[in-house]
Structure 1
Amino acid sequence: MAFKPLTGTKVFLMLVAFFGLVIGVNATMMKLAIATLPGTEVDSPYAAGLTYEREISAAQDQAARKWKVNAHIERRNDGGASVQVEARDAGGQPISGLKFGGRLERPTDKRADLAVELTEAGIGLYRGSAASVAPGQWDLVIEGEARGMRVFMSRNRVILN
């Protein structure tokens, strides 16, 4: 059996093929990683830093009100979820006339976030629903407004099975 001699041209072609394969795989993996990146938490960290003082002030105002706001979320058999919010003031009286809104936010992917429109179903009782809620961990964000100003905000991690 005769062996062909290993020439410089063959070694060069083997090196080019090897590094071409490595670069091709790296480029493909990089493209897939960038295409599936869910994005950043905030678009502008500088602007978020400027609103930080307002957020602290709003949280202090909310704590001073001493409201008791309880939220209950339940996953329905049809794949949706029902949200119920009960709001009471510091004296335990139901709070009426607020505009509550909610969001179900995926901790790992902002693209899966769902808005929940809450309407007043009774005095101090607000209800809403979201369709097609996937099972797993979610952040339930509840915001209450009065006269165009946010007066309440909470964020709680929930698990929906």
Structure 2
Amino acid sequence: MTPRSGQPRQFTGWHMLTIMVAFFGVIISVNLLMATFANTSWTGLVVQNTYVASQEFNERVAESRAQAALGWKTTLKIADGEIRYSLDDASGTPVRAESVVAAFRRPAYEAEDWQVTLTGKDTGNFAALAAVRDGIWIVNTKARMADGTSYRETRRIVVADGALK
């Protein structure tokens, strides 16, 4: 081994410039990465206009209480690429509805939201051919009756292997 001869290296302005560029380069890169993630993920928007939503709140509560007083029971089944929905009154008799729409949305990701119109197979039973991707979904179903009233229901479900769990 040969001992190092000479003077120790000096810390120059170029060294300081390199350190400063690397330091701020890392900070700016992380900020750009986080801004990109924020722009491409869920917006966090729940309602378009909070004032209007607050005005409709009492009306919606009254509708949900009236709906709960009916005692109707619903069944949602998802399996083999088919969605089935049934609606029965308190005595178990199928309820006749004109149409049923099921809106599937992810709890925190809008890009995969979709809806399907279920067709009536017979009184009170509706179905549609649609494959539901695995994961957690919030399903909003709206059944429209002949007299113009609606029966709405929201439920959180888990789909695994194409079937409701």
TM-score range, shorter chain: 0.7 to 0.9
Quote the offset at 1:122 in angstroms. Answer: 0.3
Quote the offset at 1:127 in angstroms. Answer: 1.0
Q: Give the conservation status (yes or no) of the 8 Å contact 2:97–2:146.
A: no
Which stretches in structure 2 are left out of the alignment for 5+ residues? 161-165
The residue type equivalent to 2:128 in the other structure is G
Matches of 2:147 and 2:15, distance apart in 1: 73
Quote the offset at 1:15 in angstroms. Answer: 4.0
Matches of 1:148 and 1:111, distance apart in 2: 34
Quote the offset at 1:150 in angstroms. Answer: 4.8
Give the match for residue 134 of structure 1: 133
Give the match for residue 22 of structure 1: 26
After superposing the two structures, state which structure 1 stretch, 60-69 or 117-126, moved more: 60-69
Change (3 A) 1:149 1:55: farther
Q: Secondary structure at the match of 1:118?
A: strand
Matches of 2:112 and 2:22, distance apart in 1: 40
- Residue-pair matches, total: 154
TM-score normalised per structure 2 = 0.79
Matches of 1:149 and 1:55, distance apart in 2: 16
TM-score normalised per structure 1 = 0.81
Q: Give the conservation status (yes or no) of the 8 Å contact 2:97–2:144.
A: no
Quote the offset at 1:83 in angstroms. Answer: 1.5
Quote the offset at 1:68 in angstroms. Answer: 1.9
Quote the offset at 1:120 in angstroms. Answer: 0.9
2:72 equivalent among 59, 67, 70: 67
Give the match for residue 163 of structure 2: none
Kindly provide the CA deviation profile for residues 40-77 of structure 1, in whole angstroms up to 9, marking residues without a partner as x. 22233333222211210110121122222222222x2x
The residue type equivalent to 2:130 in the other structure is A
The structure with the larger Rg is 2
| Overall identity of the aligned pairs, in % | 21
Kindly provide the CA deviation profile for residues 70-110 of structure 1, in whole angstroms up to 9, marking residues without a partner as x. 22222x2xxxx321111122332221133211022212312
The residue type equivalent to 1:97 in the other structure is A
Kindly provide the CA deviation profile for residues 117-158 of structure 1, in whole angstroms up to 9, marking residues without a partner as x. 111110111112324x32122222211112574521112222
Matches of 1:13 and 1:135, distance apart in 2: 51
Q: Give the conservation status (yes or no) of the 8 Å contact 1:68–1:88.
A: yes
The residue type equivalent to 2:93 in the other structure is Q
Which stretches in structure 1 are left out of the alignment for 5+ residues? none
